[in-house]
Structure formats: structure tokens, C-alpha cells
Chains A and B, each alone.
Chain A
Amino acid sequence: MSGRSENVYVVGVGMTRFGRHDDVADLDLASASVRDALGDAGIAWSDVDVAAGGTNGETKPDNLPTYLGLTGLPFVTVRNGCATGGVAMLTAANALRTGAGDIAVAVGYDNHARGAFNSSPARYGIADWYGETGMMVTTQYFAMKARRYLHDYGISEQTLGRVSAKAFANAADNPLAWRRDPLTVDQVMTADMVNPPLTRYMFCAPDAGAVALVLARGDRAFDLCDSPVRLAAISLRGRRFGSFEVFSPWLIPGDHLSPTVDAAASAFAMAGLAPSDVQVAQLQDTDSGAEIIHMAETGLFAHGDQEKLLSEGATEVDGTLPVNTDGGLLANGEPVGASGLRQVHEIVRQLQGRALGRQVPNGPRVGFTHVYGAPGISACSVLVRD
């Protein structure tokens, strides 16, 4: 952990506003975020040695150099659903660690149409009847998973409302967030029901956005940046037998494992840190139930404590461990390829004391990010300002 030269740091972050960008081409959106990140790092595209990027859409990330400069650099395309951003960062960091250069860019973007996320059974290896009878619906899954979790740990539906109210309160001060109108817990709870116990304000929605990071190795990072943020760990894990995932015609009885548990434990071990060291966190909040579940699966909090923690404001910006300080997916929406890097963007800014929205007080030094998605993958990172 000590030797600067072996470490990889984030030295620049860039991000477009999240929301609707109907008139902007996907690759224009992506290149805007890269230029923003390059400007933040104070370097030119020609200084970049290697890049990795991904999207869940139809464009080719490796055609971005056409927009930024055809310098001949190797550009690796990744595509891992909700973990795409995390995998882009992992790929870029590993390229630096294996000597591919000193400076790398990781970029993720998407520009989803309204109500995107239509899934075909065949892509998941499921027979047609499952979709034809109306079971291929992601929101059903989130609602059923949340209900069972609340039941198992004695958590009230009010806590689901508190998660969303917190997200929108945080987003109100974040100029790049999508949904910035604050809502009370009561407004969240009494909104249109999508799939009970989840109302419309308890779900994120597909939208558009792009995020880019500039990574640098060793001493070069300190030449470029006054307060580089060390990528202390990043870990990607797939599901093991018995996890409770979307599009499951059946589940095993008994306890259900989650790839989040494995990815988080692996990231903390790699970083040589414990969940209790984390001072600001970003968790996958596809719905408000997911944030509650992931609070515990990551090891940051104990199962069943969420009701008390949320009611005490423990995860608010000035709480004991702030979660999703930029409004999370609930307020930023989910451009799938960009979402994981948005989390890193927010943590890096928080650790550097320059949050765009609400700044966590008292100079946090250890941050954590977590993405989770279909068909049962999770990526977690630990970020440290030394």
C-alpha cells in the first residue's frame, strides 16, 4: 500500500449532467465527459497512454478517439451491464499496473430512451413462456426482493420512503443530478404505486449521462494532482449458486447469497481496510429497497439496523456514514454504462473536499463504491486520500 510507484490514482474526473440528452449523440456525450476529465487533470488526450470504456447502447466506445484524437492508443471496450463503469476502471487500472503506460482514461456512457430496459428472455437463456406470461419485468423483482428483506429483518416501509427522500434532498444541491426537487417521506410514500411496496419515487429510471476518469501511476499522479485519490482496491465478482437475481423463474429455499458480499469483502481485503474505516459510500440504489439491502451486504452496516439508522439520519451527508451523497441512482437515473463511474466521480470529489453538491464535513479520507446488476454481478472499490 505504501510504495507510490506501484499504486494507481485518480487524478481527474469529468461528468456530463445526468438526465435527458435526446438531441446529443452518444459519442458526443462520452467525449464531453473525457474532455472534462482531461481538463480537470490538466492534461491533453495525447498524454493518455491507454483507455477503456463501455456502454450498454449500440455505439462503439473504441471509436471515441475519432472525436478526441487518433493518437494510436489502445482502447479496450467493456460491456458488463450495470458494472460496465467499474469494469472500465478496473481494466484501465490493470493496464497501468502491467506497464502499459503512466496515464489511462476510463469512460462510461449511455443515452437511454424513456422507459428503456426491455429484456428478451432468450438473451438470458430463458424460454419464451417467461416473458410471454409477463414475468420478465425488472420492477417486479426489486419489489419482491425488498418485501422479503423488510419481512426478514423487521423493517418498515417507511424506511423505503426515507431512502428516497434522502436521495432527492442530496440531489437538490447537485447541479449535475437529474431529479432535483426535494420530496418529503410522505410524498414518496403516497406517490403512484409501481410494484408494492415500491412507489414511483422509489425506483431509478433509465436516462442519459457520461463520466470519465483520468488515472495515473505512481509519482506521475502527484505531478499532475495536488490531492490524488488512491484506488486502493477494485473487485468484480459474479454470482454463486443460490443468489436471488432478476429474471429467476425459481429460487432455492433458505438463505440467498449475493455477489455484493463477495465483491465487498474482496475489496476490503485487497485494500487492507475494514468497512468501519469508510467515511463516505456510494451504493447501488436501483430502488430504495436495494440501498437498504446493500447497506448490510457490503458490510458497512448490520442487517436489521437500517430502520434505526435511517430514522436517525445516519446515512445523510452529516451523518455517521453518508451514503449516496450525490443523490444516487434514485435522483441521477441510470445510464447503465456511466452509473458506476458517477459513483467514483462523487467519492473522489468528496475525498478532495470539492463535492459539487453537499460536502461531507470533517475531511473524509476513505470512500467506497458499489455497483450491482444483472445477471448477478457486483463491483466494489475502495478509494483513499492518503
Chain B
Amino acid sequence: MTNQRVVDPSLFAPDHPDCLAGARCGECGTVVFPAQDGCPRCSHRPMQAHVLASSGVVWTWTRQQFAPKPPYRPASGPWTPKAIGYVDLGDVLVEGWLLPADRDWVIDDAVRVTVVPAWTEESGDVHTFAFEHVEGAQS
């Protein structure tokens, strides 16, 4: 993810700034996120690096009304509720924050991957991935 500091560089596909990095099993085709070495379905290893789709649809969601306890690292400023969901990226469902947080989300809403500040350290913002609503897109 170019020059931004991120929560974990292994989550992001090096050559695809808008995509998450998963892994695919060469034996059974299972796709996982984040990448891992052995396949949880058939035990085959190693799995191969696999770039996930940059857009998908909301599979389910909820809203986090209160600030989570540690190890959560809050952003500076007062807590505001956030929306979270699983997004169907085609070959895998990925859990992540949904933007905008106050949208009345509906299953099958279209979203795309984005990168947003998660918390701030002395050296600057640390970023994570999220899924932002795409206006007018068809699922």
C-alpha cells in the first residue's frame, strides 16, 4: 500500500493498491484472508498469493454502538458508532468496516476496498482497509 503506514503490510497486495492480499490453494481452490501457509480445507501447502477482488457486496452487517475494549486502538477524538460487515468478494467473504458508518446498510449493497486511518501515533496515522459504499452500482 505505497507509502502509507498500515496496520499489517501482509494484508495488502503489493502491486494492486486497491486490493487485499489473500492466498489460494492450488489443490482445492480455497481462498483465504489473510494469507496463510497451509490450506484449512485440504491441508495442502504452501498456498499461493492471491489478489482479492477490489469490489463486492455486503453479505451481512451490524453497527458497533460502543467503543471496543483493548486491544482495540481508538482514533483520536470521541467515539462514534461504526458499521461493520462481511463483504462477498466472489471467492471469499472478508470482514471489515463499512463506510459511511451511519448509512442504513442493506444486504447486497455494493462496496469497494478503500484505505483509511485507523489510529494516530506520534509518527503519523496508521491505516487499515475498509469497504466504502459505491453509489448506483449493481450487485
Q: Which residues of B contact A131 (CB under 8 A)?
A: 70-72
Q: Which residues of B contact A248 (CB under 8 A)?
A: 95
Residue of A nearest to B20 (CB): A250
Cross-chain contact A195 with B128 (CB below 8 angstroms) = no
Cross-chain contact B90 with A253 (CB below 8 angstroms) = yes
Q: Which residues of A contact B65 (CB under 8 A)?
A: 192-195
On whether A128 and B85 interact (CB within 8 A), knowing A148-B60, A253-B93, the answer reads: no
Q: Which residues of A contact B69 (CB under 8 A)?
A: 115, 118
Q: Which of A120, A242, A253 has the most CB of B within 10 A?
A: A253
Q: Which residues of A contact B93 (CB under 8 A)?
A: 250-253
Total count of chain B residues near the partner, CB < 8 A: 44
A354 to B118: give the CA distance in the assembly, Å.
Answer: 55
Task: Give A355-366 as 1s and 0s: 1 = Cβ < 8 Å from B's Cβ atoms.
Answer: 000000000000
Task: Give A142-176 as 1s and 0s: 1 = Cβ < 8 Å from B's Cβ atoms.
Answer: 01110110010000000000000000000000000
Q: Which residues of B contact A136 (CB under 8 A)?
A: 68, 71-72
- Our pick among B8, B84, B91, B92 for the contact of A135 (Cβ within 8 Å) is B84
Q: Which residues of A contact B59 (CB under 8 A)?
A: 148, 251
Which bracket fits the contact residues of A?
35 or more
> Which residues of chain A from 165 to 197 have a CB within 8 Å of any chain B CB?
192-197
Interface residue B19 (Cβ < 8 Å from any Cβ of A): no
Shortest CB distance B126–A (Å): 9
A252 to B71: give the CA distance in the assembly, Å.
Answer: 26
Shortest CB distance B139–A (Å): 14
Residue of A nearest to B32 (CB): A250
A198 to B34: give the CA distance in the assembly, Å.
Answer: 29
Interface residue B14 (Cβ < 8 Å from any Cβ of A): no
Cross-chain contact B72 with A134 (CB below 8 angstroms) = yes
Q: Which residues of B contact A252 (CB under 8 A)?
A: 30, 92-93
> Which residues of chain A from 208 to 254 have a CB within 8 Å of any chain B CB?
241-242, 248-253
On whether A133 and B92 interact (CB within 8 A), knowing A120-B71, A148-B60, A196-B62, the answer reads: no
> Which residues of chain B from 65 to 98 have a CB within 8 Å of any chain A CB?
65-74, 82, 84-86, 88, 90-97
Q: Which residues of A contact B67 (CB under 8 A)?
A: 134
- Our pick among B7, B63, B88 for the contact of A196 (Cβ within 8 Å) is B63
5 further A-B pairs in the complex, CB-CB below 8 A; given A132-B118, A151-B60, A193-B63: A127-B34, A128-B71, A129-B128, A131-B72, A144-B85
Residues of A participating in the B interface, judged by any CB pair closer than 8 Å: 115, 118, 120-121, 127-129, 131-137, 140, 143-145, 147-148, 151, 192-198, 241-242, 248-253
